[in-house]
């Protein structure tokens, strides 16, 4: 069963260019479509600035979309009023990248976890403490931590509290916005294992956003590769990793560091900085950096199209479908 369906999603922001510059519209999500089955993890990977975080926040309507459709559990939630959408919010949660800034420093752990319970009226007040303690223990913390404040914990412990806050309403779907990137390497592995364990135990569905390809491979059932607001390749984790098609996907995976100082990293593709979202060409977004570019790539944008079962790519090297 499809839990989340996103159709041709667009999100625009208005920015000011320079001190004396005028207003300019950038589009960090540009005609994005995908589906996530219930109990599945879709990993979104790409360089910083490609629109991953904006996508995660837009599908749960922390940002309002400018165009497109979002269907959750069979219901179109794109244009629902806040009062109507409130019952969906309980089932759509998010874990942010920085656990310190996402937790209120003036609230104790008990208050942080009690707040969503009271907002969504999950349990009667008489059962509140028991649920908070059991949720806290499920993420590896203890009841003795309830009266402490966020600054009294390590980064890994703070992220466990953030995860506890996300799962305490018993949601179906969680957006994980780079939940391990602000943590030490040893702690990253612990949090990744915890997320995998919770997914199986609570039957959760994840949209997992990261630029860490090793964690993406570990957690994801499907992978979508984003570049400048567009998905350029998508498919099962096995197909994308073992049969990379798009030149940008090959660039990403070839940039994974090799733990051997004698081996030099070799790039067959331009590894320069990502172009600005404020200056995107009308054609393929990867045109300027692609060693395999063709004449039509400058003028037309390729459509994300299936090449084989559970593997799609947006590239004229494999098909000639033009995005209108």
CA separation for the pair 45, 64 (Å, rounded): 22
Whether 126 is in a domain gets the answer no
Strand pairing report for 173-177 and 92-95? parallel
Per-residue buried b or exposed e for 16-54, using 16+ beta carbons within 10 Å of the residue's own CB: eeeeeeeeeebbbbbbbebebeeebbbbbbbbebbbbbb
Q: What is the pLDDT of residue 311?
A: 95
- The C-alpha atoms of residue 232 and residue 285 are separated, in whole angstroms, by 9
The token pair that represents 144 in the structure block: 């003795």
Cα 65 to Cα 57: distance, rounded to the nearest angstrom: 10
Q: What average pLDDT does this structure show over 28-53? A: 93
* pLDDT on residue 313: 95
Q: How many CB atoms within 10 Å of residue 247? A: 23
pLDDT, tens digit, for every residue of 95-112? 998 888 899 999 999 999
* 260: in domain: yes
Does residue 154 fall inside a structural domain? no
The pLDDT, as a whole number, for residue 258 is 59
Q: What is the pLDDT of residue 214?
A: 84
Q: Which of 73, 100, 101 is nearest to 88 (CA)?
A: 73
H-assigned helices in the chain: 52-59, 82-89, 99-102, 109-120, 125-138, 155-167, 185-202, 213-219, 237-242, 247-254, 295-299
Q: Strand 230-236 relative to strand 322-323: parallel, antiparallel, unpaired?
A: unpaired
**Inside any domain, residue 305:** yes
Task: Give the side-chain half-sphere CA count within 13 A for 254.
Answer: 16
State the residue for tokens 């992220």: 159
Summarised one tens digit per residue, pLDDT across range 276-317 is 676 677 888 888 888 888 888 888 889 999 998 999 999 999
* pLDDT tier, 226 (very low <50, low <70, confident <90, very high otherwise): very high
Mean pLDDT of 69-98: 92
- State yes or no: pLDDT of 270 exceeds 60: no
Give the model's pLDDT for residue 33: 96
Lowest mean pLDDT among 45-49, 83-87, 141-145, 261-265: 261-265
Say how far residue 67 (Cα) sits from the centre of its chain.
Answer: 19
Whether 30 is in a domain gets the answer yes
Per-residue CA distances from 111 to 149, 151, 191, 205 (Å): 10, 15, 23, 26
Handedness of CA 105, 108, 114, 119 (dihedral sign): negative
Q: What is the pLDDT of residue 100?
A: 85
pLDDT at 321 over 80: no
List the structure tokens of 171.
Answer: 């949601």
**Is residue 111 included in any domain, yes or no?**
no
Expressed in percent and rounded to 5, the helix, strand and coil fractions of the chain are 35, 25, 40
Q: What is the CA radius of gyration of the chain?
A: 21
Nearest one of 6, 69, 75, 4 to 37, comparing CA atoms: 4
**pLDDT value, residue 285:** 86
Tell me: pLDDT of 265 over 70: no
Residue 209 forms part of a structural domain:
yes
Containing domain of residue 295, as a range? 2-91+169-323
Mean pLDDT computed over 70-87: 92
Does residue 109 lie within any of the structural domains? no
In this predicted structure, the answer to whether residue 16 has a pLDDT above a threshold of 90 is no
Q: Are 232 and 307 in contact (CB under 8 A)?
A: no
H runs (alpha helix) in 28-154? 52-59, 82-89, 99-102, 109-120, 125-138
Q: Which of 13-27, 214-228, 246-260 has the highest mean pLDDT?
A: 214-228
Q: What is the CATH number of the domain that holds 80?
A: 3.40.50.300
Residue 136, pLDDT above cutoff 90? yes
Q: Count of domains in the chain?
A: 1
Rounded to whole angstroms, how far apart are CA atoms 178 and 63? 18
User: The dihedral of CA 302, 304, 305, 309: what is its sign?
Assistant: positive
């Amino acid at each position: 069963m499809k839990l989340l369906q996103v159709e041709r999603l667009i999100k625009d922001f208005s920015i000011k260019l320079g001190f004396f510059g005028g207003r300019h519209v950038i589009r960090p999500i540009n005609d994005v479509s995908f589906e996530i089955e219930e109990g599945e993890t879709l990993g979104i990977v790409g360089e910083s600035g490609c629109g991953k975080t904006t996508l995660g926040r837009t599908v749960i309507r922390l940002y309002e979309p400018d165009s497109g459709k979002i269907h959750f559990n069979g219901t179109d939630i794109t244009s629902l009023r806040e009062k109507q959408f409130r019952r969906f919010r309980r089932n759509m949660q998010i874990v942010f990248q920085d656990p310190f800034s996402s937790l209120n420093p003036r609230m104790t752990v008990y208050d942080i976890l009690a707040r969503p319970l009271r907002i969504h009226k999950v349990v009667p007040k008489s059962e509140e403490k028991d649920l908070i303690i059991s949720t806290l223990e499920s993420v590896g913390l203890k009841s003795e931590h309830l009266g402490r404040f966020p600054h009294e914990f390590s980064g890994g412990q703070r992220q466990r509290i953030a995860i506890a806050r996300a799962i305490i309403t018993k949601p179906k779907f969680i957006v994980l916005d780079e939940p391990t990137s602000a943590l030490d390497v040893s702690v990253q592995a612990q949090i990744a294992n915890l997320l995998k364990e919770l997914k199986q135990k609570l039957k959760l569905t994840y949209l997992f956003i990261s630029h860490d390809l090793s964690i993406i491979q570990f957690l994801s059932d499907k992978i979508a590769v984003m570049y400048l607001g567009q998905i350029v390749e998508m498919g099962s984790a096995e197909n994308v990793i073992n049969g990379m098609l798009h030149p940008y996907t090959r660039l990403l995976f070839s940039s994974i560091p090799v733990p051997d100082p004698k081996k030099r990293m070799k790039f067959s593709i331009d590894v320069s900085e990502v172009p600005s979202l404020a200056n995107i060409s009308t054609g393929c977004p990867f045109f300027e950096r692609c060693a395999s570019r063709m004449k039509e790539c400058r003028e037309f944008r390729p459509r994300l199209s299936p090449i084989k079962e559970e593997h799609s790519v947006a590239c004229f090297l494999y098909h000639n479908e033009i995005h209108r």
